[in-house]
Homo-oligomer: A and B are copies of this chain.
Amino acid sequence: MNALVRSEASHRNSTIAVGPRPPAPVFAKPQPISFFTSNAEIYAQGETAGNFYRIEFGAVRIYRLLSDGRRQIAAFHLAGETFGFEADLTHHFFAEAIVATCLCTHRVSAGETLSQDLLPLALRYLARAQKHLLVVGRQNAVERIAAFLIDIADRQGGLEHIELSMSRQDIADYLGLTIETVSRGLTKLRDTGFIKFHGLRVLDICKPQALRLMCE
């Protein structure tokens, strides 16, 4: 299965208050900033919720575990995105920093108008998760990897240049594959000229149209 022991690298990072900041564009008041090192836990499944977070820089994985250690990453969140709000006051997932990450924390109590801002966000994430279900449920390995690359490229500004913050294991656990299958898929996409590597986690999409067609 997929029962790797990853936990020892994943302990809570101390929150570093860096003081007041200029107002964020969407939410009213200056809020505390906290910093997380790579693999630091932001919150755990079962923990009390109540805050949500805007990523100033870095990247975050949202995931769940089965009792035998199998992991599914439900979402990646990149710089600029807001995450961590829940329907009830409990977190149903784990959240960890993928790389060194800086978060701006917001309290839910801060204002009632927040739900006005949060609803479109929640709906976007819902559509994203449900689209990802099609990828994981019905596409083969290479199609899943293609869909992942297209998604990241679009979210990094629509360029064909990609800088991955996550490991092959993270990608595998996001796509419902093994690390070996992800590696073989990327190799196949490279050998067929769809992508070009400039380092393990840096690559260009050479045939964006064709790659898009592959996962429709």
Q: Which residues of A contact B (CB under 8 A)?
A: 2, 62, 64, 66-67, 70-72, 74-75, 85-87, 92-93, 115-116, 118-127, 129-134, 136-139, 173, 175-176, 216
Contacts and interface: CB of A to CB of B under 8 A. Distances in A.
Contact of A126 (B72, B122, B136): B122
Contacts of A134: 64, 66, 72, 74
Identical copies of this chain, number: 2
User: Which of A2, A93, A119, A132 has most B Cβ within 10 Å?
Assistant: A119
Given A2-B138, A129-B130, 16 more contacts: A64-B131, A66-B139, A72-B138, A74-B130, A74-B134, A75-B130, A87-B120, A87-B123, A87-B127, A118-B119, A119-B122, A125-B126, A126-B129, A129-B133, A137-B173, A137-B175
14 contacts: A62-B130, A70-B138, A70-B139, A74-B130, A74-B134, A85-B123, A87-B121, A87-B123, A87-B124, A122-B126, A126-B126, A129-B130, A133-B176, A136-B136
A123 B126 CA distance: 8
A137 B136 contact: yes
Contact of A119 (B2, B119, B131): B119
Contacts of A120: 87
B133 A74 contact: yes
Contacts of A123: 85-87, 122
Given A66-B216, A67-B216, A72 B133 contact: yes
Contacts of A71: 138
B125 A115 contact: no
A61 to B, nearest CB: 12
